[in-house]
Structure 1
């Protein structure tokens, strides 16, 4: 029954039905008392009409078939892009995959580019390309007002557009400096283009352009396909941003933007597995901020957070540790590869002087940033992470107690 139903619903059944109708009309005509010539002419007209109906039916069928195939391509591309979200390490890698998919989906697309809008400058920067040299494109930033979308749609950047003569468009619209830069790129070969917006949370995020070296090669069907693809890409990018945020929060301290404890230990243990006591050495430092509690009690936790951020930022800039993490509430940990205790100790004395000469400023207050530290060495003190941290912790508290006895109750 299924095969019979497919047959009656198919295109072949309509062809047969129309042909039978034509035969019936011809036989009926011959029954009337008209001349043979009139019968022939009238029959030819009927057959011509029926052929037109059949051709239109076939064309419609082919269009629907192409539409289904293109929709399938888009669906497969979006599924593939979603599958790669956990695999790509950098956003630029995702952008490149998106661009390659776009060129693959649009039949006449030979090359293309993806631009991202800088919300502050309102300029678009090239982030991915197919068929163009990225090193050159990165030197070009386009004003939003100079883009295909803006000019073709009179400032309405929510709809895709076709540009049938790119060279004429660029000469008329783009400023001379940018136009001359573009002449030195592969863009000079582009003649036709489609541009579609990437919208995220109802805000323009970027644009996808696909291009061809011939004039007027894109049609309305291509336009709708790229527009739909770009709308799906917006959702993919949004999911990737969410995953990046979740990954960041799982690895970094959200206040100071340095590693958190668990991620530091994960990275450090992986690194230590590659080290050998005979060949490698490093210094591990444990820090404790001496006046965080006093600052919180006196000025509030907002100022205490400023103190934590100032310490982390200045230590990174001044000492450049190879690994650096917030280890607890007011504790930090750092690793300096191929540096001995003396070298690291000298660096830390410099940062102590830096904080003394340039304290944290908050309103009319100048707040000191004081800290104690302890250093342990690999392999001199131990080759075990826990033992190294324990050694550094003990030395840190010796240092803290010594300072307490010297400075009294200022801790």
Structure 2
């Protein structure tokens, strides 16, 4: 540009000089007009002075300019003598003065000019040296370009382009540019930028360069023009930004992942922007509060938190900002309809790189179900506690260390202490007399270690608050955890202090003995050494209708029936001076009665054992209470296991078999069962215990064909065969799978979710029609609610798995065509390449680009273009084998992965694809035609990994497009 401006200025001055010559010719005196040499010499002299004046003006030397102006003025006066007569004094003095002064000034100015020029040249050399040093040591790659050729480069450029200086210098700038560029300008787009830089317009842009080894990198480019010796050059500064772009790409991917996690997380998430004071809700949070997603984004915090909790919420936020974290806590949130839900909140603080908080993230879980479950558990515990408290015997729970965990009212009454004074204290140190403390500890240790059976009975005294001793008869039951480990002992005890005193006095005075025994509720009998009855005392007539006089002399077997055998066997040990306590039962008037008997040796006055005395107490009600408590404990243990599975989400693929087995173990008397699951109004068998599921799972029942009405009540069915409303054929099939004739009763438990019956749990017994009593029905009602929670959780899990499956498909497939995307292609290719390497098989990669697709979009619009892409995808899929994979990797670019396919097979596939694509496409009453270009690369000929094969295929496809060929095969690597 400077060179062009100087030439323009030079041309102007030449034109002025020529005009002066012409003007001089016209005004030259006519008398000398024909004196051609004189005219020309003076004219050219004038022009020379004018042109020399132009150059002298450019020197910026004041004295040289003044001297030349004086000298020029002297010359003009001499020339004007031809027109005007000049006085002799002027020509005699002025002309020499002007000439001498002009020459002096010219010489002085010229010397100053030369000195100044020498200084400038020295500065120029220093500047060039500094520039060279900066050029060589720059951290950025610098290319010096003349026209389109690289004439020089610094070491950083050599390192960046991976070329030596000779190879890089002399290369055309567009030769270092691959066809694909960020701005889609193509390989030669950089020349346009170069042209603008030559116009004096600095350029800054991003560009993709090609290294000498064939690899590419992204760079930031700045172009600036400069001149050396009136020659124009371009300095190109190249900054490698590949790493920065990769970081940006990864950051974008992380943002997408976070967005997908935020939007699809099963938990509700609310994010508060501290700077903008805005709340952001994910879909689960909006759904939980009853809003749609758009409306939820405009909510304020006071709309979802009750007013009486706002102050506490603010304090929590301030504490979070101060400490950086908070433990999980519970809160109540307000739904759109005004109802309140309990939630569990986990707050976390998100900070920027400088450590400043920018977001508060709240992960919220709806704990309504957990609250209901805990309330249900509490209700059942309260019920068990009630049975525990109202028992008419002492009941105390002791842990393995001997500390009291709980005690009932009867125990507190006997010990004469409040419950708070007993719980937490060591039972042996505080309530067992010191003289027998060690012995009782040994018995307790034997029970905890499992050496003694849990049903064995023991007697020992205990100390009341006032220090009084009371004799207690204990019956112990193990308490175990889920792993079967003993965690404590439930001891039920009866205060036998009065009875023991009576027994002691009995042997002192027989008359007193008889009178006292008659007044007690116990039954007393005596046997001789042959186990014949020698006496009956107490309420034998009232309870059993047995007259003592009628059984004197009869054997124990005649008195007690079959249970007499156990009496005789135990009595044999008592005759050896042992004392025994045992329980036994008998049936009277159709009722099962239970008794506890304690046998002592009966001695004469000499101390010889002459028989046995037995004291019997009716413990039917006590055993019933104890059995009932054990049933409830067993039921609650299984119920807690089921609730734990619900809360933990610990489900197998088909949980119904395991669930049915747990229900049968939980419900006393249940021996077999089945589960009918309702789908679309039809019930089908999904699990059985004790029956053949393969014969039953094909059966379908309408609601009116069930053994029970479709109500929410637990029902006991005793005549099960008559309950089915089925035709004979279906009933015969059911009879083969289910033992209808053997079933005595069925406990049918409905499972209700959202006020609708979703399943029926039918538990069967083969023993007695009366086994499912009111207590069992009450257990079944509790079980129904628990199973309802479970089925609701299972349905939620099923919906979540379906959503996850859809998300997995979306992440690996193209949304428009349904074809696999680039991610799926790379994952699948790694497997296929591994197989190809292992078995030494070929594998072909086709890179296809549609020709003219952009034109279709431009003319007919993107909607027609999208339909065309779908139809192209359908034709492609129809042309491939099942083992082949095609993926859409760009707008109109597709990549094919052909296992076990060599070059010939790949060409055959390409021809098949081309033939199918040549047919016209009919879209919205429009006939469209489109073609494609293919690039073929073969493993392992053209590369060992997919990235290399894609690059070679892309290059081959580009050559096919360039040469207007349908396909091109990549050459060997």
Normalising by the smaller structure, the TM-score range is: 0.5 to 0.7
The reply to whether residue 311 of structure 1 matches residue 311 of structure 2 is no
1:336 CA displacement: 1.3
Question: Separation in 1 of the partners of 2:411 and 2:911?
Answer: 89
1:187–1:387 distance in 2 versus 1, CA, 3 Å: same
Residue equivalent to 2:894: 332
In structure 2, which of residues 834, 845, 849 is the aligned counterpart of residue 288 of structure 1? 849
**Contact 2:943 2:949 survives alignment (8 Å):** yes
Q: What are the within-5 Å matches in structure 2 for residues 149-188 of structure 1?
A: 152-154=708-710, 172-173=725-726, 179=730, 183=733, 187-188=737-738
**Displacement after TM superposition at 1:227 (Å):** 3.9
Name which of 633, 640, 645 aligns with 1:65.
Answer: 633
The number of residues matched between the two structures is 369
What is the match of residue 372 of structure 1?
A: 933
Secondary structure, aligned partner of 1:375: strand
Provide Cα deviations, 1:259-291, integer angstroms capped at 9, x if missing partner.
321232123113322332872112112223445
- CA pair 68-304 structure 1, distance change in 2 beyond 3 A: farther
Secondary structure of the residue aligned to 1:319 is coil
Return the TM-score normalized by structure 1: 0.64
SS at 2:820 equivalent:
coil
Would the aligned equivalents of 1:374 and 1:394 in 2 still touch at CA under 8 Å?
yes
Say whether residues 1:99 and 2:656 are aligned partners.
yes
Indicate conservation of the 8 Å contact 1:114/1:209, yes or no: yes
Greater shift after overlay, 288-297 or 124-133? 124-133
Structure scoring higher RCO (CA < 8 A, sep ≥ 6) equals: 1
Does residue 260 (structure 1) correspond to residue 810 (structure 2)? The answer is no
Correspondence 1:354 to 2:916: yes
Change (3 A) 1:153 1:113: closer
Equivalent residue number for residue 642 of structure 2:
74
Deviations 1:316-339 (A, max 9, x none): 233135333222333222211112
Check the 8 A contact 2:836/2:843 in 1, yes or no: no
Partner of 2:905: 343
Moved more, 294-303 or 255-264: 294-303
Q: Which residue of 2 aligns with 1:8?
A: 407
Higher strand proportion (structure 1 or 2): 2
Distance (Å, rounded) in 2 between the aligned partners of 1:137 and 1:78:
28
Would the aligned equivalents of 2:833 and 2:843 in 1 still touch at CA under 8 Å?
no
Structure 1 residue aligned with 2:434: none
Name the CA shift for 1:228/1:390 in 2 (closer, same or farther; >3 Å).
Answer: same
Q: Is the 8 A contact 1:125 1:141 kept in 2?
A: yes
RMSD: 5.2
Residue 242 (structure 1) shift: 3.3
Residues 660 and 688 in structure 2, CA contact (< 8 A), matched pair in contact too: no
Per the TM alignment, residue 385 of structure 1 is displaced from its structure 2 partner at its CA by 1.6
Other structure's SS at 1:380 match: coil
Say if 2:750 and 2:757, in contact at 8 Å, map to a contact too: no
Question: How far is 1:388 from its partner?
Answer: 0.9
Whole-Å separation in 2 of the counterparts to 1:50 and 1:14: 23
Q: Deviations over 1:335-390 (max 9, x none)?
A: 1111233334333433444344462544x344546443322111232223222111
Partners of 1:116 and 1:127 within 8 A in 2: no
For residues 358 and 73 of structure 1, what CA distance do their matches in structure 2 show?
A: 66
Structure 1 position 160, deviation (Å)? 8.6
Note the residue ranges of structure 2 that are not aligned, 5 or more in a row.
1-397, 415-471, 473-491, 503-514, 523-537, 543-594, 596-616, 665-669, 967-973
Partner residue, 1:240: 801
Distance 2:809 2:789 in 1: 31
Return the alpha-carbon distance in structure 2 between the equivalents of residues 292 and 160 of structure 1. Answer: 68
Per-residue displacement from partner, 1:71-91 (whole Å, max 9, x unpaired)?
Answer: 23224545776477xxxxxxx
2:945 equivalent to 1:384: yes
CA distance in 2, matches of 1:326, 1:255: 10
Identify the range of structure 1 (288-297 vs 63-72) with the bigger mean alpha-carbon deviation: 288-297
Aligned to 2:898, what secondary structure does the other structure show?
Answer: strand
1:197 deviates by 6.1
8 Å Cα contact 1:285/1:376 also seen in 2: yes
C-alpha offsets along residues 176-220 of structure 1, whole Å, 9 cap, x if unaligned? 6xx49x939973557668686696xx6999758677695979864
Which string of whole-angstrom CA distances, capped at 9 and with x for unpartnered residues, describes residues 284-312 of structure 1? 12223445544545555444443333333
How many angstroms apart in 1 are the aligned matches of 2:713 and 2:857? Answer: 52
Flag the 1:114–1:173 CA change in 2: closer, same or farther, 3 A.
closer
- CA drift of 1:8 comes to 1.9
Contact 2:684 2:701 in 1 (8 A): no
1:270 equivalent in alignment to 2:835: no
Name the one with the larger helix percent: 1
Deviations 1:88-132 (A, max 9, x none): xxxxxx23xx23422332225757578684x6xx77788888888
Q: Is the 8 A contact 1:146 1:173 kept in 2?
A: no
CA distance 1:276–1:366, change in 2 (3 Å) = same
Counterpart-to-counterpart distance in 1, 2:822 and 2:757: 34
Conservation of the 8 A alpha-carbon contact between 2:856 and 2:865: yes
1:121-160 equivalences under 5 Å are 140=698, 142=700, 148=706, 152-154=708-710
- The answer to whether the 8 A contact 1:109-1:210 is kept is no
- C-alpha spacing 1:302/1:194, structure 2 compared with 1 (3 Å): farther
Q: 1:391: how far off?
A: 1.7
Seen in structure 2, the aligned counterparts of structure 1 residues 18 and 226 have a Cα distance that, compared at 3 Å, is same
* CA distance in 2 between partners of 1:19 and 1:374 (Å): 95
* Equivalent in the alignment of 2:16: none
Q: SS of 2:941's equivalent?
A: coil
